[in-house]
Amino acid sequence: MLAAQFDFGFGFQRPWLRPLLIRAEAAASSRLEGIIASTEDFLRAELCATESRSATLVAANVVAVERALDMAQTMDSDSVREVHRVLMASEPRHTPGDFRQELVWIGGESPIAAVYLPPGHLWAAACVEDVAMFSRRSNLSRLVQVAVAHAQFESIHPFTDGNGRVGRAWIGASLLRQELTKYIGVVPISAGLLASPDEYIAALTSYRHGEIESIVKVFVGAVIQALHEADRLRAAVDVVTAGWSEVATGRSDSGIHKVLELVSGRPVVTAELVAGHLGVDETNAHGHLRRLVELGVLEPRPATGRRGMWVAPAIVSALDDFAAATARRGYGH
């Protein structure tokens, strides 16, 4: 499968590709729901509280995707609730981590006028567990299995909000469980779905009428498109990191190279984050950060509260370009 080829061909030698693609996927999945924040804003929100609701939600989606991948081997209804808990942590009105306790509907202004009525809330947990059991089967075509499981989850609609983002995080976990994304973590499938969001919604509707071909077709196309966009992002960052290697050549300090690897995948950092990555104290971390500012790799940003931040603008720009390309094809707002 193309995903496995990309995973081994590029992810094996580029550990920074995994955190970068996780953030690309989280931003694209959020955009599908109309939640949009600039790359730098949501990366800063990962590290420090912000007043921007959109940045907070996209940053939370990064954590949700990571949590889903962490639990890929044991995805069940409890795991799904945990992904929702971290995703909706800033939205208490949507009872983070709890299945809905009310009637919901899709389309229309009331249940009577609804396009679709999901199962009643008393069935939510059992229905999600059924999808989890289906996802753990090993005798099905892998992409068909993932597509059907996703469509079924979205049809259950077990939460009052966040279903789409949780469901797409589950896609990433499913592909990892099938060992298709061992190194890269995720295929940013939401970027592929953004190519034709109306077709994605129509395919989910068709599934609810008993037709699965459309959702499988959409998924195949989305994976191919996502891998294309992921490869463009990879190539752009390869160019950046090659330039960094040139300016850092001859430096005996291996810590510099470790920080370069870190900011390739996480282009907004704090001294605390760098210190943890290197296993040193923050004083030493500040020394590495100052040298990378001198080399033109990083730019300091004003402190938020008591926490200063450093940004790798070339990597942020690559992620901005990734987001802009998907926005041009799909939701441009």
pLDDT of residue 177: 93
pLDDT of residue 333: 30
pLDDT tops 60 at residue 238:
yes
Between the CA of residue 231 and those of 2, 11, 77, what are the distances in Å?
12, 11, 33
Angle at 140 between CA 138 and CA 145, to 5 degrees: 100
Whole-number Å distance between alpha carbons of 79 and 83: 6
Give the number of residues written for the chain: 333
Tokens found for residue 185: 């973590």
Per residue in 64-74, is it b (16+ CB within 10 Å) or e — as a string?
Answer: bbbbbbebbee
pLDDT of residue 260: 96
pLDDT of residue 247: 85
Between the CA of residue 12 and those of 183, 231, 243, 309, what are the distances in Å?
6, 14, 21, 29
pLDDT tops 50 at residue 332:
no
Q: Are 311 and 301 in contact (CB under 8 A)?
A: yes
pLDDT of residue 207: 97
Q: Are 97 and 81 in contact (CB under 8 A)?
A: yes
Domain ranges of the chain: 2-231, 233-317
pLDDT of residue 250: 60
Within 10 Å of residue 133's Cβ, how many Cβ atoms?
12
CATH class name, domain 233-317? mainly alpha
Whole-number Å distance between alpha carbons of 261 and 244: 10
Average pLDDT over residues 19-48: 96
- CATH code of the region 2-231: 1.10.3290.10
Give the chain's mean pLDDT.
93
pLDDT tops 90 at residue 331:
no
Percent of the chain with pLDDT over 90: 86
Q: Are 52 and 300 in contact (CB under 8 A)?
A: no
pLDDT tens across 318-328, in order? 999 999 988 76
Q: How confident is the model at residue 246 (pLDDT cuts 50, 70, 90)?
A: confident
pLDDT tops 90 at residue 302:
no
pLDDT of residue 303: 73
pLDDT of residue 329: 57
Whole-number Å distance between alpha carbons of 143 and 146: 5
pLDDT tens across 158-168, in order? 999 999 999 99
Helix 313-329 / helix 39-47 crossing angle, nearest 10 deg: 120
Q: How confident is the model at residue 253 (pLDDT cuts 50, 70, 90)?
A: low
H helix runs in the chain, sequence order: 2-6, 17-32, 39-47, 53-70, 77-87, 124-135, 142-156, 163-177, 189-193, 197-207, 213-248, 254-265, 271-278, 282-294, 313-329
> What is the reported pTM?
0.94
